[in-house]
Amino acid sequence: MTHTLQMENVNVGGFDLMPAPEDVKHRLPLTPAAARTVMLGRESIEAILDRKDPRMLLIVGPCSIHDPAAGLDYARRLGALAAELADTFFVTMRVYFEKPRTATGWKGFINDPRMDDSFHIEEGMQKARGFLLQVAELGLPAATEALDPIAPQYLGDLISWTAIGARTSESQTHREMSSGLSTPVGFKNGTDGDIHAAVNAIRSAAQPHSFLGINPQGRSAIVRTRGNRYGHIVLRGGADRPNYDTASVSLVEQALGRAGLPQNVLVDCSHANSYKRPELQPLVMRDVMHQIRQGNRSIIGLMIESFIEGGNQPIPADLSQLRYGCSVTDACLDWPTTEAMLREGRELVRGALAARSAVPAHRAELQ
Model confidence over 121-145: pLDDT tens digits?
Answer: 999 999 999 999 999 999 999 999 9
Pairing between strand 161-164 and 142-145? parallel
Q: Classify residue 230 as exposed, middle or buried by CB count within 10 Å of its CB (0-12, 13-18, 19+).
A: buried
- Average pLDDT over the chain, rounded to an integer: 94
Note the pLDDT tens digit of each residue in 275-327. 999 999 999 999 999 999 999 999 999 999 999 999 999 999 999 999 999 99
pLDDT for the residue numbered 355: 75
CA 170, chain centre distance (Å): 16
Checking if the pLDDT of 147 tops 80, the result is: yes
Note the pLDDT tens digit of each residue in 166-181. 999 999 999 999 999 9
Q: Is 148 within a domain?
A: yes
Q: Is 7 within a domain?
A: no
Q: Cα torsion at 284, 290, 294, 300 (round to 10°)?
A: 60
Residue 84 belongs to domain with CATH number: 3.20.20.70
DSSP 156-201: GGG-SEEEE-TTTTT-HHHHHHHHH-SS-EEEEPPTTS--HHHHHH
Measured between its terminal Cα atoms, the distance across the chain in Å is 62
Residue 207 CB neighbour total at 10 angstroms: 16
pLDDT for the residue numbered 284: 98
Instruction: Give residue 273's domain range.
Output: 21-358
**Rg (the chain; Cα; Å):** 20
Number of domains, the chain: 1
- Those residues whose C-beta lies under 8 Å from the C-beta of residue 172, and which sit 6 or more positions away, are 204
CA 250, chain centre distance (Å): 24
Q: Is 177 within a domain?
A: yes
CB 182 within 8 A of CB 155: no
Q: Is 284 within a domain?
A: yes
Q: Is 291 within a domain?
A: yes
Checking if the pLDDT of 212 tops 80, the result is: yes
Cα distance between residue 71 and residue 356, in whole Å: 34
Cα distance between residue 60 and residue 89, in whole Å: 11
Q: Classify residue 363 as exposed, middle or buried by CB count within 10 Å of its CB (0-12, 13-18, 19+).
A: middle
Q: Is 337 within a domain?
A: yes
Cα distance between residue 178 and residue 223, in whole Å: 12
pTM of the model: 0.95
pLDDT for the residue numbered 295: 95
Checking if the pLDDT of 262 tops 90, the result is: yes
Q: Is 88 within a domain?
A: yes
Strands, E assignment, the chain: 56-61, 89-94, 142-145, 161-164, 185-188, 210-214, 220-224, 231-235, 265-268, 299-305
- How sure is the predictor about 356, in pLDDT bands with cuts at 50, 70 and 90? confident
Q: Is 6 within a domain?
A: no
- How sure is the predictor about 367, in pLDDT bands with cuts at 50, 70 and 90? very low
pLDDT for the residue numbered 99: 82
Q: Cα torsion at 114, 308, 166, 218 (round to 10°)?
A: 40
pLDDT for the residue numbered 290: 97
